[in-house]
Amino acid sequence: MSYTKLTRDELAQRIAQDIPEGSYVNLGIGMPTLVGNHLPKDREIFLHSENGILGMGPAPAAGLEDMDLINAGKEPVTLLTGGAYFHHTDSFAMMRGGHLDIAVLGAFQVSVSGDLANWSTGGDAIPAVGGAMDLAVGAKNVWVMMEHLTKSGESKIVSRCTYPLTGIGVVRRIYTDLAVIDVTPRGLVASRPVPGLSFDELQRLTGVPLSPSGARAAA
């Protein structure tokens, strides 16, 4: 059977639908930012930005940009009615202190035990970490949003990360363009494969052991 990978927007929509009303959420730079475009209009969800914003709203209309009001990716945003500004130390207290319900982060690799590698590809690239390590250790739930495979077809879900680590055992759930994979004490549990993708095919592409959602753990 053939299958089609989710587009980035479809993936963002899937994640947005899974965010409960009332959640405090940080969307990482890059692909996770797209999730903000798909939040259900009938739910109140609080977006946090590391540079001191809670209740962050969408991008302003052209001509109404205010460069004193930007997101972590340095793009102009807006503030929802009821939103708040605060300084960096308070902002990172929210992040590190376990006050955020969900952080959606991009990743280069995630290991079977939830190790996250998303800040450096090593080598001689100039390193830059930003708030990635603080979010990784601090949010109650770290969700990763990434393509399942690298451009050359290797699984980004690995037995052990080969890229520099951002955090150890921090990832709870991985949303890929092929499926949703929960990181559990009993290993990785796969659910919601894209239509036409069998569990066996998903397992073959992933490489590391998966169990299908709903299966009983072997006694």
Partner 1 sequence: MGESGQGLGREGRLIAGMIDKIVPSVEAALADVSDGSTILVGGFGGAGVPEELIDALIAQGAKDLTIVNNNAGNAEIGVAALLKAGRVRRIVCSYPRTADSYVFDALYRAGKIELELVPQGTLSERMRAAGAGIGAFYTPTGYGTDLAKGKETRTIEGKGCVLEHPLAGDVALVKAERGDRWGNLVYRKSARNFGPTMASAAKCTIAQVYETVELGALDPECIVTPGIFVTRVVRVPRKEGGNRVPAGGVTRGISGRAAV
Binding site for partner 1 (CB under 8 A): 49-53, 62-70, 74, 76, 79, 85-89, 91-92, 95-96, 120, 125-134, 137-138, 164-168
| Least Å from the CB of residue 192 to partner 1 | 31
Q: Of the two residues 24 and 175, which places its CB atom closer to partner 1 in the complex?
A: 24
Q: Sheet containing 109-111: give its strands across.
A: 116-117, 109-111, 157-158
End-to-end distance of the chain based on CA atoms, in angstroms?
32
- Shortest reach from residue 18's CB to partner 1, in Å: 26
Residue 165 vs 178, nearer CB to partner 1: 165
Supply angle C-alpha 48, 53, 59, rounded to 5. Answer: 85
Residue 84 beta carbon to partner 1: minimum distance, rounded to whole angstroms:
9
CB-wise, 166 or 206, nearer to partner 1? Answer: 166
Which stretch of DSSP H or E encloses residue 145? strand 141-146
Tell me which of 10, 44, 50, 65 is the catalytic residue: 50
Closest approach, Cβ 143 to partner 1, in A, equals: 19
Residue 153 · residue 206 · CB < 8 Å: no
What residue type is assigned to position 207 of the chain? G
Q: 154 an active-site residue?
A: no
Q: How many residues in total does the chain contain?
A: 219
Of 15 and 133, which CB lies nearer to partner 1 in the complex structure? 133
Q: Are 171 and 115 in contact (CB under 8 A)?
A: yes
**Residues catalogued as catalytic:** 50
